[in-house]
Amino acid sequence: MNIRIPYLLAALIAVAAVMNTNTEKGVSAATSLTMNSLDGHNFDINKPTSKATLLSFWSTSCSICARDIPVLSALHDQFDRADLEILAISMQYDELEDIRTMIDSRAIEYQIAYDENGKIADAFPGVRFTPTSFLLDDSGKIIWRHTGRLDHAEVVNTVHKTLNAVQLATR
């Protein structure tokens, strides 16, 4: 009887792992998710567009996030707004005054939203650490997810692949 317990436990763990694994390519970001940037720009993640969207969940207390600001700024400068929208979403534990201070002191020009109640982060899979970034295609589906410091070349390559796919789909 005691020999069966480890097998039963292993089977339960395997079933739980399978149930928590999403093998679908391109997971919908959220059924209905809209937000406003701090300067009032409205974002509807699920509204079809002709561009890709890079979302980066960050915090003012995260040193890696601070080091990602130049990468996001370079992407903002490199890509046309018609092709790529960048939105950094600060976490609910940030203070609005600290967010605004960082925007001003770092001269951030891309859009920033404040996830005041944590609902935006909850709408995306695996936002447990900052920075966590997602690249969404033109229909709002997640096609790339990354936790940790961004590599400029990797993001550029992924954005180019996404834009090529978007252009092919709209022909």
Residues in the chain: 171
Residue 27 pLDDT level (bands cut at 50, 70, 90): very low
Do residues 163 and 52 lie in contact, with contact meaning Cβ atoms separated by under 8 Å? Answer: yes
Percent of the chain with pLDDT strictly greater than 90: 60
Of 9-13, 56-60, 83-87, the range with the lowest mean pLDDT is 9-13
pLDDT given at position 50: 80
pLDDT given at position 48: 75
pLDDT given at position 134: 95
- Six token digits for residue 4: 């069966």
Of 4-13, 39-48, 89-98, the range with the lowest mean pLDDT is 4-13
From the candidate CATH numbers 3.40.1530.20, 3.40.30.10, 1.20.1260.10, 3.30.930.10, the one assigned to the domain spanning 24-169: 3.40.30.10
pLDDT given at position 7: 55
pLDDT given at position 169: 59
Alpha-carbon gap, residue 160 to 136, rounded angstroms: 12
| pTM over cut 0.85 | no
Burial call 35-54: b when 16+ CB within 10 Å, e when fewer: bebeeeeebebeeebebbbb
The arithmetic mean of pLDDT across residues 12-40, rounded, is 55
pLDDT given at position 2: 56
Percent of the chain with pLDDT strictly greater than 70: 78
The arithmetic mean of pLDDT across residues 17-43, rounded, is 61
Alpha-carbon gap, residue 38 to 40, rounded angstroms: 5
Q: With CA atoms as reference, report the closest residue to 73 among 59, 82, 84, 63.
A: 84
pLDDT given at position 135: 94
34-40 long-range contacts, Cβ below 8 Å, gap at least 24? 35/89, 35/113, 35/115, 35/120, 36/113, 37/87, 37/111, 37/112, 37/113, 38/99, 38/100, 38/103, 38/112, 38/113, 38/114, 39/111, 39/112
**H-type alpha helices, 27-84:** 63-78
